[in-house]
Structure 1
Amino acid sequence: MLDDFCTASIAEALDFADTHHWTRQPPRSDSARLRFLVTRYTDIGVLASRLGAKPGLVKEVMEGRRSAPGSVLSQAIAKDVVRLWQPRVRRRAHHLISTGHDGMLVHFKAWFGFTGVAGSSDDGRVRHITERLPTAYAAQLFQARYRNADEGELRGIIADAVGEAYFKVSPRGKLHMVALTDIAYIEFSY
Protein backbone atom coordinates (compact mmCIF):
# COMPACT_ATOMS: atom_id res chain seq x y z
CA MET A 1 0.00 0.00 0.00
CA LEU A 2 2.78 2.39 0.93
CA ASP A 3 5.67 0.51 -0.65
CA ASP A 4 8.21 3.32 -0.50
CA PHE A 5 7.01 4.66 2.85
CA CYS A 6 9.50 6.89 4.62
CA THR A 7 8.51 9.54 7.11
CA ALA A 8 9.86 11.96 9.66
CA SER A 9 6.47 11.95 11.42
CA ILE A 10 6.23 9.81 14.55
CA ALA A 11 2.43 9.57 14.22
CA GLU A 12 2.67 8.32 10.62
CA ALA A 13 5.43 5.87 11.54
CA LEU A 14 3.25 4.42 14.32
CA ASP A 15 0.34 4.10 11.90
CA PHE A 16 2.53 2.31 9.38
CA ALA A 17 3.87 -0.10 12.04
CA ASP A 18 0.26 -1.01 12.79
CA THR A 19 -0.16 -2.31 9.23
CA HIS A 20 1.86 -5.41 10.17
CA HIS A 21 -0.94 -6.49 12.51
CA TRP A 22 -3.85 -6.19 10.06
CA THR A 23 -5.96 -9.28 9.58
CA ARG A 24 -7.48 -8.01 6.31
CA GLN A 25 -6.04 -5.79 3.65
CA PRO A 26 -7.72 -2.42 3.00
CA PRO A 27 -9.26 -1.48 -0.35
CA ARG A 28 -6.76 -1.20 -3.19
CA SER A 29 -8.19 1.46 -5.50
CA ASP A 30 -8.43 5.14 -4.62
CA SER A 31 -12.19 5.13 -5.23
CA ALA A 32 -12.73 2.16 -2.87
CA ARG A 33 -10.45 3.75 -0.28
CA LEU A 34 -12.45 6.97 -0.46
CA ARG A 35 -15.72 5.05 -0.04
CA PHE A 36 -14.21 3.59 3.15
CA LEU A 37 -13.04 7.01 4.36
CA VAL A 38 -16.45 8.61 3.75
CA THR A 39 -17.88 6.19 6.34
CA ARG A 40 -15.45 7.62 8.92
CA TYR A 41 -16.06 11.34 8.32
CA THR A 42 -19.17 13.43 8.87
CA ASP A 43 -19.19 14.82 5.35
CA ILE A 44 -17.16 14.85 2.18
CA GLY A 45 -16.00 18.44 2.80
CA VAL A 46 -14.24 17.44 6.02
CA LEU A 47 -12.59 14.51 4.23
CA ALA A 48 -11.52 16.71 1.31
CA SER A 49 -10.02 19.23 3.73
CA ARG A 50 -8.09 16.45 5.48
CA LEU A 51 -6.74 15.24 2.13
CA GLY A 52 -5.92 18.74 0.88
CA ALA A 53 -8.27 18.49 -2.09
CA LYS A 54 -11.53 20.04 -3.27
CA PRO A 55 -14.78 18.25 -2.35
CA GLY A 56 -15.79 17.98 -6.02
CA LEU A 57 -12.56 16.23 -6.94
CA VAL A 58 -12.86 13.82 -4.01
CA LYS A 59 -16.44 12.99 -5.05
CA GLU A 60 -15.41 12.39 -8.68
CA VAL A 61 -12.53 10.09 -7.63
CA MET A 62 -14.79 8.25 -5.18
CA GLU A 63 -17.43 7.65 -7.87
CA GLY A 64 -14.76 6.40 -10.30
CA ARG A 65 -15.38 9.17 -12.84
CA ARG A 66 -11.82 10.38 -12.44
CA SER A 67 -8.55 8.98 -11.15
CA ALA A 68 -6.65 10.68 -8.34
CA PRO A 69 -4.45 13.25 -10.09
CA GLY A 70 -0.81 12.80 -9.18
CA SER A 71 0.64 10.76 -6.39
CA VAL A 72 0.11 13.45 -3.72
CA LEU A 73 -3.65 12.89 -3.42
CA SER A 74 -3.29 9.15 -3.81
CA GLN A 75 -0.64 9.10 -1.06
CA ALA A 76 -2.84 11.26 1.22
CA ILE A 77 -5.75 8.85 0.70
CA ALA A 78 -3.52 5.85 1.47
CA LYS A 79 -2.12 7.46 4.64
CA ASP A 80 -5.59 8.25 5.95
CA VAL A 81 -6.75 4.69 5.29
CA VAL A 82 -3.68 3.39 7.15
CA ARG A 83 -4.55 5.69 10.05
CA LEU A 84 -8.14 4.43 10.31
CA TRP A 85 -8.09 0.79 9.17
CA GLN A 86 -8.93 -1.94 11.71
CA PRO A 87 -8.90 0.08 14.95
CA ARG A 88 -9.72 -2.93 17.17
CA VAL A 89 -6.84 -4.97 15.76
CA ARG A 90 -4.57 -1.98 16.32
CA ARG A 91 -5.74 -1.52 19.94
CA ARG A 92 -5.21 -5.22 20.67
CA ALA A 93 -1.62 -5.04 19.38
CA HIS A 94 -1.02 -1.86 21.39
CA HIS A 95 -2.36 -3.54 24.54
CA LEU A 96 0.06 -6.46 24.14
CA ILE A 97 2.99 -4.11 23.70
CA SER A 98 1.92 -1.83 26.56
CA THR A 99 1.61 -4.74 28.99
CA GLY A 100 5.02 -6.14 28.18
CA HIS A 101 3.96 -9.15 26.11
CA ASP A 102 5.69 -7.84 23.02
CA GLY A 103 8.31 -5.17 22.55
CA MET A 104 8.62 -2.02 20.50
CA LEU A 105 11.69 -1.26 18.44
CA VAL A 106 12.43 2.21 17.08
CA HIS A 107 14.90 2.97 14.30
CA PHE A 108 15.69 6.53 13.25
CA LYS A 109 18.18 8.97 11.87
CA ALA A 110 18.01 12.29 13.69
CA TRP A 111 19.90 14.79 15.76
CA PHE A 112 20.00 13.10 19.12
CA GLY A 113 21.99 13.71 22.26
CA PHE A 114 22.21 14.01 26.01
CA THR A 115 22.56 17.49 27.44
CA GLY A 116 25.58 16.63 29.52
CA VAL A 117 29.11 17.94 29.67
CA ALA A 118 30.05 19.84 26.50
CA GLY A 119 32.37 17.86 24.27
CA SER A 120 31.41 14.48 25.71
CA SER A 121 30.57 11.55 23.47
CA ASP A 122 26.95 11.98 24.58
CA ASP A 123 26.74 15.45 23.01
CA GLY A 124 24.03 15.84 20.42
CA ARG A 125 24.78 14.92 16.82
CA VAL A 126 23.12 13.17 13.92
CA ARG A 127 22.88 9.50 14.79
CA HIS A 128 21.43 6.32 13.33
CA ILE A 129 19.88 4.48 16.26
CA THR A 130 17.93 1.26 16.65
CA GLU A 131 16.75 0.68 20.19
CA ARG A 132 14.14 -1.36 22.05
CA LEU A 133 11.87 0.97 24.03
CA PRO A 134 11.00 0.32 27.68
CA THR A 135 7.39 -0.91 27.99
CA ALA A 136 6.19 2.09 30.01
CA TYR A 137 7.18 4.46 27.20
CA ALA A 138 5.39 2.38 24.58
CA ALA A 139 2.20 2.72 26.65
CA GLN A 140 2.73 6.49 26.96
CA LEU A 141 3.32 6.76 23.23
CA PHE A 142 0.10 4.92 22.36
CA GLN A 143 -1.94 6.95 24.85
CA ALA A 144 -0.56 10.17 23.38
CA ARG A 145 -1.38 8.93 19.87
CA TYR A 146 -4.99 8.14 20.90
CA ARG A 147 -5.31 11.74 22.12
CA ASN A 148 -3.94 12.99 18.78
CA ALA A 149 -0.97 14.54 20.57
CA ASP A 150 1.21 16.79 18.46
CA GLU A 151 4.60 15.74 17.10
CA GLY A 152 6.43 17.68 19.81
CA GLU A 153 4.86 15.62 22.59
CA LEU A 154 5.46 12.36 20.72
CA ARG A 155 9.08 13.39 20.09
CA GLY A 156 9.55 14.10 23.82
CA ILE A 157 8.30 10.62 24.73
CA ILE A 158 10.61 8.98 22.18
CA ALA A 159 13.57 11.10 23.31
CA ASP A 160 13.04 10.09 26.95
CA ALA A 161 12.55 6.42 26.05
CA VAL A 162 15.59 6.17 23.80
CA GLY A 163 17.61 8.26 26.24
CA GLU A 164 16.85 5.78 29.01
CA ALA A 165 17.64 2.78 26.80
CA TYR A 166 20.66 4.24 24.96
CA PHE A 167 22.35 6.46 27.55
CA LYS A 168 21.07 4.54 30.59
CA VAL A 169 19.68 7.72 32.18
CA SER A 170 16.23 7.91 33.64
CA PRO A 171 14.33 11.15 32.95
CA ARG A 172 11.64 10.30 35.51
CA GLY A 173 11.45 13.92 36.67
CA LYS A 174 10.29 15.06 33.22
CA LEU A 175 13.52 17.01 32.76
CA HIS A 176 13.83 16.02 29.10
CA MET A 177 17.59 15.74 29.37
CA VAL A 178 17.72 14.05 25.97
CA ALA A 179 16.94 15.97 22.77
CA LEU A 180 15.60 14.50 19.54
CA THR A 181 15.26 16.94 16.63
CA ASP A 182 15.70 17.13 12.86
CA ILE A 183 14.34 13.64 12.21
CA ALA A 184 15.33 12.42 8.73
CA TYR A 185 13.25 9.25 9.09
CA ILE A 186 11.76 7.13 11.85
CA GLU A 187 10.34 3.60 11.85
CA PHE A 188 8.75 1.40 14.49
CA SER A 189 8.33 -2.34 14.60
CA TYR A 190 6.28 -4.32 17.04
Structure 2
Amino acid sequence: MKYLVKQLKGTRPVADLLGVSQHTVERYVAGKLRRSRRDLRERTEREVKKRWQPQIRAKAKKRAASTDGLVVSTRARFGFTAAPGTTDDARIGDITQALPPR
Protein backbone atom coordinates (compact mmCIF):
# COMPACT_ATOMS: atom_id res chain seq x y z
CA MET A 1 0.00 0.00 0.00
CA LYS A 2 2.85 2.36 0.84
CA TYR A 3 4.42 1.71 -2.55
CA LEU A 4 1.19 2.64 -4.36
CA VAL A 5 0.80 5.79 -2.26
CA LYS A 6 4.35 6.80 -3.15
CA GLN A 7 3.86 6.05 -6.87
CA LEU A 8 0.50 7.81 -7.18
CA LYS A 9 1.49 10.65 -4.83
CA GLY A 10 -1.39 10.42 -2.40
CA THR A 11 -3.95 8.26 -0.71
CA ARG A 12 -6.95 9.55 -2.71
CA PRO A 13 -5.70 8.22 -6.10
CA VAL A 14 -4.88 4.86 -4.50
CA ALA A 15 -8.33 4.66 -2.93
CA ASP A 16 -9.96 5.43 -6.29
CA LEU A 17 -7.77 2.87 -8.03
CA LEU A 18 -8.54 0.08 -5.56
CA GLY A 19 -12.19 0.96 -4.98
CA VAL A 20 -11.90 1.59 -1.24
CA SER A 21 -12.19 4.68 0.92
CA GLN A 22 -9.31 7.06 1.46
CA HIS A 23 -9.52 6.39 5.18
CA THR A 24 -8.98 2.66 4.58
CA VAL A 25 -5.81 3.36 2.59
CA GLU A 26 -4.58 5.70 5.35
CA ARG A 27 -5.14 2.98 7.97
CA TYR A 28 -3.11 0.47 5.93
CA VAL A 29 -0.28 2.96 5.52
CA ALA A 30 -0.32 3.79 9.24
CA GLY A 31 -0.21 0.08 10.11
CA LYS A 32 -3.57 0.00 11.90
CA LEU A 33 -4.89 -2.56 9.42
CA ARG A 34 -2.63 -5.48 8.65
CA ARG A 35 -4.60 -8.13 6.79
CA SER A 36 -6.74 -7.09 3.85
CA ARG A 37 -9.72 -8.79 2.30
CA ARG A 38 -8.86 -11.29 -0.40
CA ASP A 39 -10.27 -9.21 -3.27
CA LEU A 40 -8.50 -6.06 -2.07
CA ARG A 41 -5.25 -7.97 -1.59
CA GLU A 42 -5.46 -9.33 -5.16
CA ARG A 43 -6.19 -5.88 -6.62
CA THR A 44 -3.31 -4.38 -4.65
CA GLU A 45 -0.88 -7.08 -5.80
CA ARG A 46 -1.97 -6.66 -9.42
CA GLU A 47 -1.49 -2.87 -9.34
CA VAL A 48 1.89 -3.13 -7.61
CA LYS A 49 3.14 -5.69 -10.14
CA LYS A 50 1.89 -3.54 -12.99
CA ARG A 51 4.02 -0.63 -11.77
CA TRP A 52 6.94 -2.60 -10.33
CA GLN A 53 7.81 -4.91 -13.23
CA PRO A 54 8.73 -2.16 -15.74
CA GLN A 55 11.13 -0.70 -13.17
CA ILE A 56 12.85 -4.07 -12.75
CA ARG A 57 13.17 -4.51 -16.53
CA ALA A 58 14.55 -0.98 -16.94
CA LYS A 59 17.17 -1.58 -14.24
CA ALA A 60 18.18 -4.89 -15.85
CA LYS A 61 18.55 -3.24 -19.27
CA LYS A 62 20.58 -0.40 -17.79
CA ARG A 63 22.84 -2.83 -15.92
CA ALA A 64 23.31 -4.97 -19.05
CA ALA A 65 24.15 -1.93 -21.15
CA SER A 66 26.75 -0.65 -18.72
CA THR A 67 28.49 -3.89 -17.65
CA ASP A 68 29.04 -7.24 -19.33
CA GLY A 69 26.10 -7.31 -21.71
CA LEU A 70 23.30 -9.79 -22.02
CA VAL A 71 23.06 -13.55 -22.59
CA VAL A 72 20.13 -14.74 -24.68
CA SER A 73 19.18 -18.40 -24.65
CA THR A 74 16.50 -20.07 -26.77
CA ARG A 75 15.49 -23.42 -28.25
CA ALA A 76 14.91 -23.94 -31.96
CA ARG A 77 14.02 -26.73 -34.33
CA PHE A 78 16.67 -27.47 -36.97
CA GLY A 79 16.40 -29.80 -39.94
CA PHE A 80 13.90 -30.88 -42.54
CA THR A 81 10.52 -32.51 -42.40
CA ALA A 82 11.21 -36.14 -43.17
CA ALA A 83 9.95 -39.56 -42.31
CA PRO A 84 10.10 -40.18 -38.55
CA GLY A 85 13.25 -41.91 -37.46
CA THR A 86 15.41 -40.89 -40.41
CA THR A 87 18.55 -38.80 -40.01
CA ASP A 88 16.96 -35.89 -41.90
CA ASP A 89 14.26 -35.50 -39.27
CA ALA A 90 14.31 -32.14 -37.48
CA ARG A 91 15.94 -31.89 -34.04
CA ILE A 92 15.58 -29.47 -31.19
CA GLY A 93 18.73 -27.47 -30.50
CA ASP A 94 19.69 -24.94 -27.85
CA ILE A 95 21.17 -21.60 -28.89
CA THR A 96 22.97 -19.41 -26.36
CA GLN A 97 24.40 -16.11 -27.53
CA ALA A 98 26.30 -13.53 -25.49
CA LEU A 99 25.50 -9.99 -26.65
CA PRO A 100 27.88 -7.10 -25.99
CA PRO A 101 26.67 -4.09 -23.98
CA ARG A 102 26.18 -1.88 -27.01
Give TM-score, length-normalised by structure 2: 0.51
Superposed, 1:136-151 pairs within 5 Å as none
**CA deviation map 1:27-59 (0-9, x unaligned):** xxxxxxx11111100221111111111110011
- Structure 2 Cα separation of the partners of residues 79 and 53 of structure 1: 15
Q: Which runs of 5+ in 1 are unaligned?
A: 1-33, 93-100, 104-190
Q: What residue identity is the alignment partner of 1:72?
A: D
Residues 67/77 of structure 1: CA separation in 2 closer, same or farther (3 Å cut): same
Which of 4, 25, 30 in structure 2 is aligned with 1:63? 30
- Structure 2 Cα separation of the partners of residues 85 and 48 of structure 1: 18
What stretches of structure 1 move > 4 A for 4+ residues in a row?
none
- Structure 1 Cα separation of the partners of residues 73 and 50 of structure 2: 21
Report the number of matched residues.
62
Matched, 1:44 2:11: yes
Q: What residue identity is the alignment partner of 2:9?
A: T
Matched, 1:87 2:54: yes
Give TM-score, length-normalised by structure 1: 0.29
Which is higher, the Rg of structure 1 or of structure 2? Answer: 2
- Structure 1 Cα separation of the partners of residues 12 and 43 of structure 2: 15
Q: Report sequence identity in percent.
A: 21
